[in-house]
């Protein structure tokens, strides 16, 4: 549903913010970008800047303080100009850090790609090798490598690159494993692509953002490591300037001439800090998980900002009375309504179906009733929802929360995602009870067992300690229903409760819901896309299209003689057992004209 | 040659290999000795619940999984022979349409590059011919020609499934394995795709292996229907006979469970409220 909303909204002017403007919205990242650009530009332009040669020694001029004549940042113990050495040194440090990152990214990603795609023995061998590198403390390993290769800037670069390979290899492997089992990879194989071609033309483009993110977050780290090795005298060799070696040389004069070591220290700080800030910003922009939603946590109740003052609730016999409900989503700077003025009423003990195709707004309607639409971006922009004659949205936040589960309970489509995988099902049912009632642990457990028996789980006493993954889909949905029943709600809202289940299981779950409703006199609002399900359990049905109810009525009547052309078409498109091949011939005229 | 596919005693077991330290892993018997044949120009449907092994059969037929034992002949050619020649040979004989059309299209490629691959690798056409073929294919699945420059996420589920079908057609294979091709789609879109598949079958002389869990859909498209239950094929008959007089108990339950538009709540026995967990825990 959200997908459909997203696609419709990108076509209009409310398109999502571009990556660039998203990055600039992040103040810290922008600051990092500016500092980095300034440092980078100065370092790049070093050969053309009017600064003295960084390696010209002039012992007579040694240890000049800051702002002395001709030496803006003073001179070091050999009389070399610190500003000049700082600029040339930054140049070296940045170059080494970036090249080490590129080498580590190239080798590490290659290992990760191959090992994640090939799996099996290749994966095992490569990953155990990576584990061995990771087993050593990084600086020790770098020292060992430099000890073998001999000191020097280039060797330090290799050492740092090798030490950072596992970082890329592990990240990339993780993503590749997930991608390699995706259907588009299978499809590419069936299109005749070889494994190598699939790896580099199908998988790699999807892994690339992860590589870029990892690079942006490790460059700063690598510059720091280069400085560390140079500080120990294993990186840049004198007289070459490098931030780390400058720091190392200044260390001996820390008390007599602190500026000699403090200045390169501040430079390293500014450089690494700016890169890390920018890197975090880049990650936030590129990471699809962070990008999809807003970066903020959703509120516990959907924001309510009604255009008109809510009309006083009229007395009616309905337990749930929805009038003119409008729920919108913020896209960029505009708000796009997903539910447009929906009104319906549900009486005690009644079952009503809300049917529609994907993107019709039926799930948003169901979630809006108790303010469960994620906010931001969701906003309730108009209408009232009255439960037992009282407007829900006029209640306080705690007031709305008190309704959830107690008066109105939800049953969702896929119980595997709504049940917590690490808690036993019994504990989860008990938790639903204790959230609203003050009872002891033992009693809650006994009630949980009783509920499980009611929803038809055999051997409930044993199954109460099972984890969700130990149960089948049908049993999990029974647990979901048991949780909904925990506090004797008057209304149950079931959002596609059987869509993820097999037909034989679906029939039993529908029977269960039906029997429970009759026994307890609950009202049931059933959200579905399946006319067969509606026909089986609902007294009344409302058909939704593009956020509006186009037709509503008694189920039998509506199915027999649908009035709205949309409903007529939808019902005609449902194949039925016994129709056989005649079905295709009956729907053919519906699509004969107006083909895309 | 009247049989497009002949399958004999096909078995697939996952896991169960000896591990490094001598123990044997847990084995899952996904397909336990299945035999059937798909005739030329026929639509054979395989129905069954999740985990009944129907998708595993499909994946073996197109070479995405290797059978544990049993023989398969595709278009008269032996499976092992085809397999030795590599995925290219397979692709020219048999094509596969996935359940989730959006997931089967690489999100970072335009439709143009996606359709280009089979035309180039499987048919070996030059760029001129490929261009013409791409236009023909889009016409065949009733998509506008500006489709080519766009990315998969710009299309709805039904449109994406048309593109996926176009890609399968591009290989000019005569056998298509359709793995739940309409179950992710809305009903009106589902009907359109079923119509399209029907038209294409006639136009290009195709044979379909149609995998689905929806009996009503199956009845509307198939000549013969096979029922899978826990890795075994419990029944195989013409669609008319199977739906009129189901032989196996499981088939009867499947037909009884299918939701219908007419109200018949009373006619359904309320037996299984208690007996439910048995079937569902095994499935």
Nearest CA in chain B to A591: B192
Our CA-based measurement puts residue A505 at a distance from the nearest CA of chain B, in whole angstroms, of: 6
Residues A105, A240: one domain? yes
DSSP string over A312-373: PPPP-SEEEEEEEEEEEEEETTEEEEEEEEEEEEEETT-EEEEEE-TTSSHHHHHHHTTT-S
- A192 and B104 within 8 Å at the Cβ level: the answer is no
B254 → closest Cβ in A187, A504, A579? A504
Distance CA A539, CA A348 (A): 12
Q: How many Cα atoms occupy the beta-carbon half-sphere of B182 within 13 Å?
A: 25
Our CA-based measurement puts residue B16 at a distance from the nearest CA of chain A, in whole angstroms, of: 15
3-state SS, residue A594? coil
Our CA-based measurement puts residue B117 at a distance from the nearest CA of chain A, in whole angstroms, of: 6
Looking at residue A119, the DSSP 8-state letter turns out to be: -
Find the domain containing A441 and state its range.
416-488
Q: Best mutation site among B185, B218, B277 for testing chain A: the one with the most A CBs within 10 Å? A: B277
Residues A41, A187: one domain? yes
Residue percentage of chain B with pLDDT more than 70: 88
Q: Residue B243: its chain A contacts at CB < 8 A?
A: 577-578, 580
- How do residues A257-268 score in pLDDT, each as one tens digit? 888 899 999 999
Residues A163, A283: one domain? yes
Judge whether residue A542 has pLDDT over 60.
yes
Q: Best mutation site among B43, B118, B220 for testing chain A: the one with the most A CBs within 10 Å? A: B220
Judge whether residue A2 has pLDDT over 70.
no
Q: For A124, list phi and psi in degrees, rounded to 5.
A: -60, -50
A503 → closest Cβ in B63, B190, B258? B258
DSSP string over B37-59: EEETT-EEEEE--TTSSHHHHHH
A188 → closest Cβ in B117, B195, B265? B117
Distance CA B187, CA A575 (A): 9
Looking at residue A201, the DSSP 8-state letter turns out to be: I
Q: Is residue A189 part of a domain?
A: yes
Judge whether residue A297 has pLDDT over 80.
no
**Domains along the sequence of chain B with CATH:** 3-280 (3.40.50.300)
- A475 and B90 within 8 Å at the Cβ level: the answer is no
A45-54, A105-114, B168-177: which is most confident? A105-114
The H or E element spanning position A542 is strand A540-545
Q: Residue A587: its chain B contacts at CB < 8 A?
A: 191, 195
pLDDT band at A13 (very low <50, low <70, confident <90, very high): very low
Residues A442, A579: one domain? no
Judge whether residue A1 has pLDDT over 80.
no
Residues A28, A113: one domain? yes
Strands A491-495 and A408-411, bridge-based pairing: parallel
3-state SS, residue A3? helix
Judge whether residue A10 has pLDDT over 70.
no
Q: What average pLDDT does this structure show over A530-557?
A: 90
Nearest CA in chain A to B190: A573
- B49 and A503 within 8 Å at the Cβ level: the answer is yes
Q: Is residue A66 part of a domain?
A: no
pLDDT band at B207 (very low <50, low <70, confident <90, very high): very high
Q: Is residue A142 part of a domain?
A: yes
Q: Is residue A45 part of a domain?
A: yes
Total of domains in chain A: 3
- How do residues A570-588 score in pLDDT, each as one tens digit? 888 888 887 888 888 888 8
Our CA-based measurement puts residue A198 at a distance from the nearest CA of chain B, in whole angstroms, of: 11
Q: For A324, list phi and psi in degrees, rounded to 5.
A: 55, 35
- How do residues B52-98 score in pLDDT, each as one tens digit? 888 899 989 888 888 999 999 988 888 888 877 777 778 888 899 98
Q: Is residue A436 part of a domain?
A: yes
Our CA-based measurement puts residue B12 at a distance from the nearest CA of chain A, in whole angstroms, of: 19
Q: What average pLDDT does this structure show over A28-37?
A: 93
Q: What is the CATH number of the domain that holds A166?
A: 1.10.3720.10
- How do residues A40-69 score in pLDDT, each as one tens digit? 999 999 888 888 888 888 888 888 888 888
- A573 and B188 within 8 Å at the Cβ level: the answer is yes
In sequence order, the 6+-apart residues with CB closer than 8 A to the CB of A553 are: A540, A541
B195 → closest Cβ in A506, A574, A588? A588
Our CA-based measurement puts residue A491 at a distance from the nearest CA of chain B, in whole angstroms, of: 22
pLDDT at A296: 58
Give the relative orientation of helices B157-170 and B187-204 as an angle to the nearest 10 degrees. Answer: 20
Judge whether residue A291 has pLDDT over 60.
no
Residues A99, A200: one domain? yes
Q: For A383, list phi and psi in degrees, rounded to 5.
A: 95, 175
B188 → closest Cβ in A515, A559, A570? A570
Distance CA A29, CA A19 (A): 13
First to last CA, chain A: 23
pLDDT at B21: 61
Q: Is residue A498 part of a domain?
A: no
Domain boundary among A270, A292, A314: A292
- How do residues A315-340 score in pLDDT, each as one tens digit? 777 888 998 899 988 876 778 888 88
B186 → closest Cβ in A358, A472, A575? A358
- B195 and A584 within 8 Å at the Cβ level: the answer is yes
Domain boundary among A292, A321, A355: A292
- B270 and A187 within 8 Å at the Cβ level: the answer is no
Residues A459, A583: one domain? no
Residues A118, A245: one domain? yes
Nearest CA in chain A to B281: A472
Q: What average pLDDT does this structure show over A356-362?
A: 84
Q: Residue B50: its chain A contacts at CB < 8 A?
A: 473, 502
- A507 and B171 within 8 Å at the Cβ level: the answer is no
Residues A475, A580: one domain? no
The rounded mean pLDDT for chain B is 84
Residues A130, A213: one domain? yes
Residues A567, A461: one domain? no
Q: Is residue A228 part of a domain?
A: yes
- B277 and A581 within 8 Å at the Cβ level: the answer is no
Q: Is residue A287 part of a domain?
A: yes
**Which tokens sit at B124?**
């070996």
Question: Model's pTM, two decimal places?
Answer: 0.79
- A190 and B87 within 8 Å at the Cβ level: the answer is yes
A475 → closest Cβ in B95, B265, B281? B281
pLDDT at A593: 55
Domain boundary among A254, A275, A292: A292
Residues A569, A450: one domain? no
pLDDT at A363: 87
- How do residues A424-447 score in pLDDT, each as one tens digit? 988 999 988 888 888 888 899 999
Higher pLDDT, A84 or B24: A84
Q: What average pLDDT does this structure show over B8-17?
A: 84
pLDDT band at A348 (very low <50, low <70, confident <90, very high): confident
């Amino acid at each position: 549903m959200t997908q459909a909303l997203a696609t419709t909204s990108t076509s209009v002017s409310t398109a999502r913010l571009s990556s660039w403007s998203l990055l600039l919205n992040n103040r810290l990242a922008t600051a990092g970008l500016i500092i980095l650009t300034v440092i980078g530009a100065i370092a790049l332009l070093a050969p053309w800047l009017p600064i003295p040669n960084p390696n010209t020694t002039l012992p007579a001029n040694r240890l000049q303080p800051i702002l002395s004549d001709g030496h803006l940042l003073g001179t070091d113990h050999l009389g070399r100009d610190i500003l000049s050495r700082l600029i040339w040194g930054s140049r070296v440090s940045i170059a080494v850090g970036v090249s080490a990152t590129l080498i580590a990214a190239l080798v590490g990603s290659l290992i990760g790609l191959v090992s994640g795609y090939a799996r099996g023995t290749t994966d095992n061998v490569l990953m155990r090798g990576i584990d061995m590198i990771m087993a050593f403390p990084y600086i020790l390993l770098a020292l060992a490598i430099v000890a073998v290769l001999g000191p020097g800037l280039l060797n330090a670069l290799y050492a740092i690159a090798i030490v950072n390979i596992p970082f890329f290899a592990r990240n990339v492997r993780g993503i590749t494993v997930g991608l390699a089992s995706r259907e588009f990879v299978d499809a590419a194989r069936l299109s005749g692509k070889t494994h190598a071609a699939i790896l580099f033309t199908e998988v790699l483009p999807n892994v690339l953002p992860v590589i870029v993110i990892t690079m942006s977050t490790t460059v700063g780290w690598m510059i720091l490591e280069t400085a560390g090795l140079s500080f120990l005298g294993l990186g840049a060799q004198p007289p070459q300037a490098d931030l780390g070696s400058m720091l190392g040389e200044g260390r001996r004069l820390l008390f007599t001439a602190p500026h000699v070591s403090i200045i390169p220290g501040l430079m390293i700080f500014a450089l690494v800090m700016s890169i890390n800030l920018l890197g975090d910003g880049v990650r936030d922009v590129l990471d699809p998980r962070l990008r999809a939603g807003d970066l903020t946590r959703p509120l516990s109740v959907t924001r309510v900002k009604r255009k008109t003052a809510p009309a006083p609730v009229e007395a009616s016999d309905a337990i749930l009375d929805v009038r003119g409900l409008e729920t919108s989503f913020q896209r960029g700077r505009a708000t796009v309504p997903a539910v447009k003025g929906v009104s319906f009423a549900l009486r005690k003990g009644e079952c009503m179906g809300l049917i529609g195709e994907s993107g019709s707004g039926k799930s948003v309607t169901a979630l809006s009733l108790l303010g469960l639409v994620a906010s931001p971006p969701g906003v309730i922009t108009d209408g009232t929802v009255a439960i037992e004659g009282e407007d829900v949205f006029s209640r306080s936040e705690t007031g709305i929360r008190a309704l959830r589960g107690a008066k109105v309970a939800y049953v969702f489509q896929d119980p595997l995602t709504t049940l917590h995988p690490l808690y036993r099902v019994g504990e989860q049912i008990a938790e639903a009870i204790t959230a609203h009632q003050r009872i002891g642990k033992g009693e809650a457990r006994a009630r949980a067992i009783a509920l499980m028996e009611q929803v038809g789980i055999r051997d409930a006493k044993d199954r109460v300690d099972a984890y969700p993954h130990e149960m089948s889909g049908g049993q999990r949905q029974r647990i979901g229903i048991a949780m909904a029943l925990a506090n004797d709600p008057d209304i149950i809202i079931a959002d596609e409760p059987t869509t993820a289940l097999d037909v034989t299981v679906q029939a039993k779950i529908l029977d269960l819901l039906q029997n429970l409703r009759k026994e307890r006199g609950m009202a049931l609002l059933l959200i579905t896309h399946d006319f067969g399900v509606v026909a089986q359990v609902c007294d009344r049905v409302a058909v939704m299209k593009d956020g509006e109810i186009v037709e509503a009525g008694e189920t039998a009547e509506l199915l027999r003689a649908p009035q709205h052309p949309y409903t007529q078409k939808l019902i005609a498109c449902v194949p039925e057992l016994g129709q056989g091949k005649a079905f295709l011939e009956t729907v053919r005229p519906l699509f004969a004209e107006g083909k895309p | 040659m009247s049989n497009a596919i002949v399958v004999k005693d096909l078995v697939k077991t996952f896991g169960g290999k000896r591990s490094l330290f001598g123990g044997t892993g847990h084995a899952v018997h996904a397909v336990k000795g299945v035999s059937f044949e798909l005739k030329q120009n026929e639509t054979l449907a395989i129905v069954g619940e999740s985990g009944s092994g129907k998708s595993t059969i499909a994946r073996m037929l197109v070479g995405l999984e290797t059978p544990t034992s049993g023989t398969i002949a595709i278009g008269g050619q032996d499976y092992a022979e085809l397999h030795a020649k590599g995925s290219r040979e397979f692709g020219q004989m048999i094509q596969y349409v996935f359940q989730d059309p959006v997931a089967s299209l690489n999100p970072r490629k335009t439709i143009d590059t996606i359709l280009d691959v089979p035309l180039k690798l499987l048919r070996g056409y030059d760029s001129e011919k490929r261009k013409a073929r791409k236009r023909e294919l889009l016409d065949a699945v009733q998509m506008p020609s500006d489709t080519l420059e766009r990315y998969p996420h710009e299309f709805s589920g039904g449109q994406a499934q048309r593109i996926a079908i176009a890609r399968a057609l591009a290989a000019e294979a005569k056998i298509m394995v359709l793995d739940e091709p309409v179950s992710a789609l809305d009903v009106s879109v589902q009907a359109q795709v079923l119509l399209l598949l029907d038209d294409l079958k006639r136009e290009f002389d195709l044979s379909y292996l149609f995998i689905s869990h929806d009996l009503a859909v199956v009845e509307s498209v198939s000549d013969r229907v096979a029922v899978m239950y826990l890795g075994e094929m419990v029944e195989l008959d013409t669609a008319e006979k199977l739906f009129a007089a189901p032989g196996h108990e499981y088939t009867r339950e499947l037909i009884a469970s299918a939701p219908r538009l007419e109200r018949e709540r009373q006619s359904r026995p309320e037996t299984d409220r208690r007996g439910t967990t048995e079937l569902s825990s095994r499935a």
